[in-house]
Amino acid sequence: MLSVAVMVSGGGTNLQALINALKTGDIKNACIDLVFSDNEAAYALKRAEAENIKKVCVPAKKYNEYEFENLMLKILDENRPDLIVLAGFLSKVPDKVVQSYRGRIINIHPSLIPSFCGKGFYGIKVHEAALKRGVKITGATVHLVDEGIDSGKILMQKTVEVKDDDTPLLLQKRVMEEAEHIILPKVVNMAANGDIRLPIV
């Protein structure tokens, strides 16, 4: 059984997609054992509580980088997840954490990397940039996390059509529903069932 830790900062819609996929059997041989947030106000924490999933919050704004890094690593080491999923996690994962869990951290990004990614591209800003550029196709990407920002190996992508009357909010919602909530559970299921090789702990 693959032990999964999900890291969140906001509403937790991708966390909910994973919870739903576990319930329907779209994800097999896995369980979410920990939800970690860097934001006390994250609604995702309420989603975890509703499902009786262990939740831990380390507010990034209350700690310096060194303290935040060490607290995150301590919590992860205590829970020893096989896979860490960044699902709308806005803090950069500290290098020490990446090095300790290399190959076992994945992120969902709301664009087709390498478009609209890297520093400053997160949340609604990604969709604002896509509309400003006038692209006709966007989508979402699941990738491995390394020491960079959105620079790790791409594991899966899914395209979404951009419509003429789209607003950033409309596009964000459609990318979530038509791409993010589909490919993130698929990748977690692949990791749980040997289709993606994770490093041996």
Residue 77 exposure: Cα atoms within 13 Å on the Cβ side: 11
Task: Give the gyration radius of the chain's Cα atoms.
Answer: 16
Catalytic residue among 109, 127, 143, 181: 109
Residues contacting residue 124 through CB under 8 Å, at least 6 positions apart = 168, 169, 172
Would you call 109 a catalytic residue per the annotation? yes
Judge contact between 147 and 93, C-beta under 8 A: no
Residues contacting residue 130 through CB under 8 Å, at least 6 positions apart = 111, 115, 116, 138, 162, 171
- What are the tokens at 43? 């609604």
Place of tokens 């992120």: 107
Burial track 95-108 (b if 16+ CB lie within 10 A, e otherwise): eebbeebebbbbbb
What whole-number distance in Å separates Cα of residue 33 and Cα of residue 148? 27
State the burial class of residue 24 (Cβ atoms within 10 Å of its Cβ: 0-12, 13-18, 19+).
exposed
Catalytic residues: 109
